[in-house]
C-alpha cells in the first residue's frame, strides 16, 4: 500500500489568467486561495471587542475586502476606458482616447471590486471553482 500524504501534495494557492466574459481582450489574473489562507484573511480583519462581560468578534468588511482583493486579484490586461461603463458608472467626457487601458494596481482592483457587483461576482465565482485552476500534472476534471 502506498503511503500518500495529502498535506504534502496540497499547495496554498495557484494563479490562472481568465477571459472576462463580455469584454473582448480583458483578461484577469486570479489566484485560488486555500480554505486555510482565506481563514487567515478573515482573522486579520477581525476585531475583538468587549461588550459588557462578553467578548465579541466583528469582521471589518472593508479591511477583509482589501486583503481579499490583494490576495486573489493578481493582475489584468485589456481593460479599456471604453469598457468601464459595462462594469460601473463612470464619467469619461474628458478622456480623449477611450482605447487607453486602465492599469492594474491594488487601488484600481479594490475600486472595481467595491463598485461593480458584476466584477465581484465574477472574481468570487471563478476563484471558488477548483476546475479553473488545473495543475500541470492533474487530469481534466469531469463536471
Mean pLDDT across 116-139: 79
**Residue 142 pLDDT > 60, yes or no?**
no
Helix (H, G, I), strand (E, B) or coil at 37: helix
Mean pLDDT across 76-84: 97
**Proportion of the chain above pLDDT 70, given as a percent:** 89
Closest among 143, 135, 140 to 9, alpha carbons compared: 135
More confident residue, 106 or 3: 106
Around 43, how many Cα atoms within 13 Å sit in the side-chain half-sphere? 6
- Output the pLDDT for position 143: 38
C-alpha distance from residue 48 to each of 36, 61, 64 (Å): 20, 14, 15
- Output the pLDDT for position 140: 47
**Residue 141 pLDDT > 50, yes or no?**
no
Q: How does the average pLDDT of the chain come out, rounded?
A: 87
**Residue 48 pLDDT > 90, yes or no?**
no
Strands 54-59 and 13-19: unpaired
Amino acid at each position: 500500500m502506498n503511503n500518500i500524504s495529502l498535506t504534502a501534495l496540497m499547495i496554498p494557492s495557484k494563479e490562472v489568467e481568465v477571459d472576462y466574459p463580455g469584454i473582448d481582450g480583458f483578461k484577469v489574473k486570479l489566484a485560488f486561495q486555500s480554505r486555510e489562507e482565506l481563514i487567515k484573511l478573515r482573522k486579520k480583519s477581525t476585531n475583538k471587542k468587549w461588550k459588557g462581560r462578553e467578548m465579541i468578534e466583528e469582521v471589518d468588511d472593508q479591511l477583509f475586502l482589501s486583503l481579499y482583493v490583494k490576495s486573489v486579484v493578481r493582475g489584468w490586461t485589456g481593460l479599456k476606458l471604453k469598457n468601464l461603463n459595462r462594469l460601473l458608472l463612470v464619467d469619461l467626457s474628458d478622456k480623449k482616447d477611450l482605447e487607453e487601458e486602465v492599469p492594474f494596481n491594488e487601488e484600481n482592483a479594490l475600486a472595481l471590486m467595491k463598485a461593480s457587483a458584476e466584477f465581484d461576482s465574477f472574481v468570487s465565482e471563478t476563484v471558488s471553482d477548483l476546475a479553473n485552476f488545473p495543475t500541470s500534472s492533474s487530469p481534466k476534471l469531469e463536471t
